[in-house]
Chain A
Amino acid sequence: MEITPDNQIFWEWRWVTLNATILYSWLVMAILVVGSWLGTRNLSVAPAPMSPWQNRLEMIVEQINIQIRDAVRQDPSQFLPFVGTLFLFIAVANLVTIFPVYESPAASLSTTTALALCVFVAVPYYGIKNIGLGNYLKHYLRPTPLMLPFNLISELSRILSLAIRLFGNIMSTGLLVAILVSIVPLFFPIVMRAFGILIGVIQAYVFAILAIVYIASGMRAQHQTQRPVNE
């Protein structure tokens, strides 16, 4: 029994291996890119009739915008590309598991670690961009300088838990379905697969929300000083 799609190798040449994780990630990326390209070919504004695909894409973007605004209480436009991409990639990667041969690339620890490392880089990026290098470094010494090691550990451990959480949830669903197919092959695996898709979408949502919460916590200095001006 395979516990991760890393072990399914389709093609190998010297040190280049093409395993299921990479292939299915490319598939998800192709779905996202081609879908968005087809949807945004003929954009139109209000008086002209709107194509159904433009309507759907606008709905998705608007919903993501609302969620980010609720989470950080400021203009979401600078976070939308990063957080929206994370959500859409994980959600589509898990939704495509409806098709039989496909396995979600999020069931591999390599994919989830890569996504978590993106968040690890994005936190100081948005922090330094918004509040400056000095203020960002100062937030490590926030309550007292004694807390410096704990702040550093929490910075690393939350990234680790972000990666392991997504991996564990998706991998356990795949494992559960694989075991059930060998015990009760007829009807029950379908129900568990549908349940797994629900879990996959919730985990995509949780991953994106946690990413935005971490990014917002790195910008907290600005948050406190600017709030009286904004509200």
Chain B
Amino acid sequence: MSNISLIGMVSIIMAGLTMAIGAIAPAIGEGLALANALRAIAQQPDQTNTITRTLFVGMAIIESTAIYCLVVSTILIFANPFWNYFTGQQAGGG
């Protein structure tokens, strides 16, 4: 198998795996955060504004790990540096 097809195959598989594995933990974390926030709102409806604000900020921070995975897999698919290097080398050498 040539270098190019190997790099293409590994990049696509790893892009899928990055999203698949990387989405699990943030999803569990956001679910826990939302469940606890709802419980807190049910107990203290007066504090809804404060709880909602903290929930949004906290969720955005939790979510950033998933966003990192998304950025990495996007780079692997659309702007893969190794792919560009090897296609450039082939065009130059062959």
Point out residues on A near B: beta carbons under 8 Å.
1, 3, 67, 70, 161, 164-165, 167-169, 171-172, 175, 202-203, 205-206, 209-210, 213
Contacts and interface: CB of A to CB of B under 8 A. Distances in A.
Interface string B51-79: 00100110011011001101100100011
B68 to A, nearest CB: 6
A167 B70 CA distance: 11
Given A70-B50, A206-B56, A209-B57, A164 B71 contact: yes
B81 to A, nearest CB: 14
Interface residues of B, number: 15
- State the main secondary structure of chain B at its contact with A: helix
Contacts of B78: 1, 3
A175 B60 contact: no
A1 B57 CA distance: 32
B63 A165 contact: yes
- State the main secondary structure of chain A at its contact with B: helix
B56 A172 contact: no
30 contacts: A1-B78, A3-B78, A3-B79, A67-B53, A161-B64, A164-B64, A164-B68, A164-B71, A165-B63, A165-B64, A165-B67, A167-B71, A168-B64, A168-B67, A168-B68, A168-B70, A168-B71, A169-B67, A171-B74, A175-B74, A202-B56, A202-B60, A203-B60, A206-B56, A206-B57, A206-B60, A209-B56, A209-B57, A210-B60, A210-B61
Contacts of B67: 164-165, 168-169, 172
B11 to A, nearest CB: 15
A67 B52 CA distance: 12
A192 to B, nearest CB: 16
Contacts of A161: 64
A165 B60 contact: yes
Nearest to B67: A168
A175 B78 CA distance: 11
Q: Which 6 A-B pairs have the closest CB atoms?
A: A168-B67, A206-B60, A165-B64, A3-B78, A168-B71, A161-B64
